[in-house]
Amino acid sequence: TWGEVFDNKEVRELINKAYSILDDEAMESFNGSVGDFFFPRYQKLDSSKGVDPWLLEAVELLVDLEESVSDGADDLYDMGTGGYIEYEMAEGDQSLKWRIGGYSTLFDIIS
């Protein structure tokens, strides 16, 4: 880590812009990966007035890692836009808590 400190408001705005790209309806008709759709559009934010290039890069990495991990992919280029759009979060607790339920939680899921 290099210890760079960013303005929270600026970070939140940039994250919101990044996720608005991922929520863009144009992705429905896009034939390619989520990475092919997201990265060129995100990099256009680079021309935004006064946005720190380090911040742009940090948010790009954050969004890439977060979305890839939540979808079980190595990066956004491994995810197709069709499957990404159709995915819906299931109801209920998404985490498996070993300390609370232990192996019985796993057996409940399997059975």
- Whole-number Cα distances in Å, 39 to 43, 77, 103: 6, 10, 41
CB-based contact 14:45 (threshold 8 Å): yes
Q: Tokens in use for 16?
A: 């919101």
Q: Is 37 exposed, middle or buried (0-12, 13-18, 19+ CB in 10 A)?
A: buried
State mean pLDDT over 35-49: 84
The pTM for the full model equals 0.71
Convert the pLDDT of each residue in 67-100 to its tens digit. Answer: 888 888 889 998 888 777 766 666 766 665 656 6
CA separation for the pair 19, 63 (Å, rounded): 8
